[in-house]
Amino acid sequence: MRFSLFRRENNEAARRERQEQLEKRVVDGFRQLSGLLHQAADYLEARRLERNGFREQKTFLERTDGREAGPNDRRR
């Protein structure tokens, strides 16, 4: 017994349409996964910054431990 990922279609246009649908679903899945990973990265970064003395202040981050920024501290 032979199993195939793609259904056998006699018409070339039908085969192309099925492959097109599959590719669209795969691309959509990758985009959704990308969004989820982006949110997870933002969450982890916020937790890391919070542990290192930063706290979120609306649209910017501010150091809360009272230290002044040194010459090697980078600002974005």
Whether residue 72 lies inside any domain: the answer is no
* 76: pLDDT strictly greater than 50: no
* Interval 9-35: pLDDT, tens: 678 888 899 999 999 999 999 999 999
pLDDT band per the 50, 70, 90 thresholds, residue 51: confident
Residue 21 belongs to a domain: yes
Kindly state whether residue 35 falls inside one of the protein's structural domains.
yes
Indicate whether 42 belongs to any domain: yes
Q: Does 1 fall in a domain?
A: no
* pLDDT surpassing 80 at residue 59: no
Asked if residue 5 belongs to a domain, the reply is no
pTM summary value:
0.52
DSSP state string for 2-70: ---SSPP-SSHHHHHHHHHHHHHHHHHHHHHHHHHHHHHHHHHHHHHHHHTTEEEETTEEEE-S-PPP-
Structural domain of residue 17, as residue ranges?
12-63
Please indicate, yes or no, if residue 73 is contained in any of the structural domains.
Answer: no
Within-domain flag for 57: yes
Domain count along the chain? 1
